[in-house]
Structure 1
Amino acid sequence: MDLYLKEKTAVVTGASQGIGRAIVRELAIEGVKVLAVARNGDLLNSLKAEVVAAGGVEPVTLIQDFVAPDGPQKIAAAALAALGHVDILVNNAGRSRPVEVVGPEEPWKESMTLDFERHRQLTQALLPHFMERKQGVILNLTSTYELRTLNVSAVAKAAVVAWSKQLAGQLGRYGIRVNCLQPGLIDTENIRPYFPGDERRKFAEREIPLGDFGEPQDMANMAAFLVSPRARYVTGTVATVDGGMRYHPF
């Protein structure tokens, strides 16, 4: 299926590994010119080489600390300078942050900044551009937020969902679509430590109808569809990629 993404442009944060890396690679293979943003230059360079080897459009890379106070503004400026215009924004950066019920304030401030505030600020920096062009697609990566234990990232990502739905309601008149993509248990560095040894297989066989964890590519496949013109009538929704899992252990 042609997703009609050739010659589109995109910004992807948290692009150097895991789900973000897979999304950059998939979009580039579909013909998208991507600004890939992350802190690790070595990983960004290896991503660029990987994309080129796969026959994709060589991404532009930007080494930038997303949580720096001026991070969103620098990313937006770099995107417009490097790409000329931006068609797609994928807000992917984030990190799981479990906390105790009673604890210090710092983890809350840090995680809310990373997992909500900076995404909001980057989006707001690019929205005038989208609105002027009367087009654009925003895809916000969320998380499983109905957990059994306290995790600041999950709280922030729940806020992302509410914010995304409100944005979708206001921006449709400008031809701008806003959706969320929610992973189940995807085989990434964030998840592996929670399932040592044989625990992954046991849990998956017991709780996931499709029998195993997902791969970053599974998320990238759905992301590519949601940001493509093929999904022109999809906005304000949360797409879940979880193999049918309806129970979370954390």
Structure 2
Amino acid sequence: MDLYLKGKTAVVSGASQGFGRAIVKELAQEGVKVFATARNEALLNSLKEEIAAAGGVEPITFAQDFVAADGPENIAAAALASLGHVDILINNAGRSQPLDVVAPDGPWEDSLTLDFTRHRQLTQQFLPQFIERKQGAILNITSTYELRTINASAVAKAAVTVWSKQLAGELGKYGIRVNSLQPGLIDTANTRRFFNEEERNAFAGREITLGSFGEPQDIANMAVFLVSPRASYVTGSVAVVDGGMRHYPF
């Protein structure tokens, strides 16, 4: 299916590995010029090489500490200078942060900064040009894994979901769409910190309808659809890619 993305431009944060890496590769295969940003320059360079070898549109890579106070401003300035304009913004950077019930302020503040505040700030850097051009697609990668233990990242990502819905309500009149994508348990370096292979298999067999953890490509497939013109009537939504892990009342 043609997603009508050829010639579009996109910014993807947290692009060097996991979801972000898979999303950048999929966008590049669809003909999108991607500004891929993350901290790890070596991984960004290898991403560029993989895309070139696969025949995708070569991305622009930009190594930047997203958490730094000037991170969002630097990323936005470099992206606009490189691309001219941005059609698509995918806020993906983040890291799980388990905490004790009573925890110091530092880890809470660090996680809220990374998983919410910097995404809000980066988005606000691009909003004037989205509004001026009366078009744009914003996708926020959040989480569906409703833990029974304290995790600061999950709290911040819940805030992102609410903020996304509010943005969608404000920006629809400008032709700008805003959606959230909630991954379930996906086999990435982030989840491997908490589940070894034996534990993944046992958990998936017990809790996930499709019987396995997902792959980053599963997230990329949905993400690229949601930012494409094929999803032009989808905004304010929360898409779930979790293999049937969550149980709903209806």
TM range (shorter): over 0.9
Contact 1:136–1:176 (Cα < 8 Å) also in 2: yes
**Structure 2: how far apart are the matches of 1:138 and 1:193?**
29
Amino acid at match of 1:174: Y
Contact 1:145–1:157 (Cα < 8 Å) also in 2: no
Contact 1:67–1:118 (Cα < 8 Å) also in 2: yes
Extract unaligned runs of 5+ from structure 1.
none
1:116-195 to 2 correspondences below 5 Å: 116-144=116-144, 146-195=146-195
Q: CA deviation at 1:84?
A: 0.6
> Percent sequence identity over matched residues?
75
**Structure 2: how far apart are the matches of 1:17 and 1:145?**
20
Q: CA deviation at 1:172?
A: 0.2
Q: CA deviation at 1:145?
A: 5.2
**Structure 2: how far apart are the matches of 1:201 and 1:91?**
30
What secondary structure does 1:194 align onto?
A: coil
**Structure 2: how far apart are the matches of 1:145 and 1:122?**
25
Matching residue of 2:65: 65
What secondary structure does 2:190 align onto?
A: coil
**Structure 2: how far apart are the matches of 1:168 and 1:36?**
24
Amino acid at match of 1:243: G
Q: Does 1:115 align with 2:124?
A: no
- Any idea what the Cα deviations from partners look like across 1:50-69, whole Å, max 9, x if unmatched? 01111100000001000110
- Any idea what the Cα deviations from partners look like across 1:116-152, whole Å, max 9, x if unmatched? 0000000001000000000000000001252201100
**Structure 2: how far apart are the matches of 1:234 and 1:77?**
28
RMSD after superposition? 0.8
Matching residue of 2:207: 207
**Structure 2: how far apart are the matches of 1:244 and 1:117?**
30
Contact 1:145–1:158 (Cα < 8 Å) also in 2: no
Amino acid at match of 2:241: V
Matching residue of 1:44: 44
**Structure 2: how far apart are the matches of 1:69 and 1:75?**
11
Count of residues in Structure 1 that have an aligned counterpart in Structure 2: 247
Contact 2:185–2:191 (Cα < 8 Å) also in 1: yes
Contact 2:145–2:185 (Cα < 8 Å) also in 1: no
Q: 1:174 to 1:197 in 2, by over 3 A?
A: closer
**Structure 2: how far apart are the matches of 1:199 and 1:71?**
37
Amino acid at match of 1:68: A
Matching residue of 2:235: 235
TM-score (ref. length: structure 2):
0.97
Amino acid at match of 1:158: A
Amino acid at match of 1:57: V
- Any idea what the Cα deviations from partners look like across 1:133-184, whole Å, max 9, x if unmatched? 0000000000125220110000000000000000000100000000000100
Q: Does 1:9 align with 2:9?
A: yes
What secondary structure does 2:61 align onto?
A: strand
Extract unaligned runs of 5+ from structure 2.
none
Q: CA deviation at 1:74?
A: 0.6
What secondary structure does 1:56 align onto?
A: coil
Amino acid at match of 2:122: L
Query: Which stretches of structure 1, 4 residues or longer, exceed 2 Å deviation after superposition?
Result: none
Contact 1:182–1:240 (Cα < 8 Å) also in 2: yes
